Amino acid sequence: MKKRQLGKTNIEISEVGLGTWQLSGDVWGKKTEAEYIQAIEAAIDADINYLDTALDYGNGYCEQVIGKALQGNSSVVISSKIPPQCDDWSPKPQSKIQDYFSSDWIVKCCDTTLKNLRRECIDILFLHTWNLAWGHCTEWYEAMLKLKELGKIRAIGISVGDRRAGEANSHIEAGRIDVVQVVYNILEQEPEYTLFPMAQKHQVGIIARCPFSSGALVSGWTHSQKFPQGDWRGLWTPDDWVARQVEMVDLIKPIVKDINLSMSEIGLKYILNNQTVTSVIPGSSSTEHIRRNASVARLSNLSEDILHKLQQLWLDGKIQGTYNGGA
């Protein structure tokens, strides 16, 4: 597995990581703890050295499973995310940052995450949502910087909202952020224009989440798609979400039909073609899917012609936007 350096930090992570929301035991359907641990072990066996999680995933359960599976294995890079204190994932312009990420809350959540993961230091700590209006605020950064000075975290990050890729750019420019996590995939190319140039200029790492648009790119959905009981995709999404996703994927298929790659491979290779991206984190609790995703790093890049055609679809507004159930 190839590794890329995370911005200006001395952290190197595998091009393909593992997103662990599906190991939370709640909104993706429940499996046994043994199955979740098998998924983590499959990732490590496939030379994935980067796991992304969040304190909110199963209310700490996902972090606890990772801690149990790794048993202090410090060679695996872990990132986690601090949830908003008020449990509002889409802050409005008038929202006050103190209600979401007070200094005391940041410290408390970090300590809980470290306990769950059975670690003394977490490699990357993100704030799990953000607000463009907080561009002038620095109290959150001072709290994170203190955690860094204490050796509790190695890198400071912000996870920006769906379709809000550039909302933390002011803090990138001010040198406060080491890494940004963002929705980036074939259907959502906005970060290439609103985030990546700033990240390149200031050597900020990029973690690409939701590479398959929550399954739409790879699962062969139809307009009558039904999801298992309790699955967030059947509960939280707009009424026309599935239909819109199917229509966009149908526009992509003719472009890639002659490529000897699966849709999951094409989706991941599109993302990794952009060298601004440090790692992409497809989520899965399936050992088969995890191994297949990891193997993509060894495949050749997509041709410039294919990349251009996929990018033109987005520029023409024919494929735009996704939703991953988050902020």
User: Using an 8 Å Cβ cutoff, are 38 and 18 in contact?
Assistant: no
pLDDT, one tens digit per residue, over 52-84 is 999 999 999 999 999 999 997 889 999 999 999
d(CA 211, CA 188) in angstroms, rounded, equals 9
Residue 323's pLDDT is 59
- What is the SS3 assignment for 58? coil
d(CA 24, CA 230) in angstroms, rounded, equals 13
pTM of the model: 0.95
Q: Is the pLDDT of residue 230 over 90?
A: no
- Bridge partners, 18 (sequence order): 51
Tokens for 136, please give them: 């002038």
Q: Beta strand 12-14 with 3-5: parallel, antiparallel or unpaired?
A: antiparallel
User: Sheet containing 205-209: which strands, arranged edge to edge?
Assistant: 18-19, 50-52, 77-82, 122-127, 153-159, 179-183, 205-209, 279-280
pLDDT, one tens digit per residue, over 295-326 is 998 898 999 999 999 999 999 999 987 655 55
Tokens for 248, please give them: 């966009």
Tokens for 80, please give them: 């986690």
Q: Is the pLDDT of residue 278 over 90?
A: yes
d(CA 148, CA 125) in angstroms, rounded, equals 10
Is 255 exposed, middle or buried (CB count within 10 Å of its CB: 0-12, 13-18, 19+)?
Answer: middle
E strands, 90-192, in order: 122-127, 153-159, 179-183
Q: How far apart are the first and last CA of the chain?
A: 30
pLDDT, one tens digit per residue, over 191-205 is 999 999 999 999 999
Mean pLDDT of the chain: 94
User: Using an 8 Å Cβ cutoff, are 237 and 211 in contact?
Assistant: no
Residue 238 burial (CB count, 10 A) = 9
- What is the SS3 assignment for 79? strand
Is 216 exposed, middle or buried (CB count within 10 Å of its CB: 0-12, 13-18, 19+)?
Answer: buried
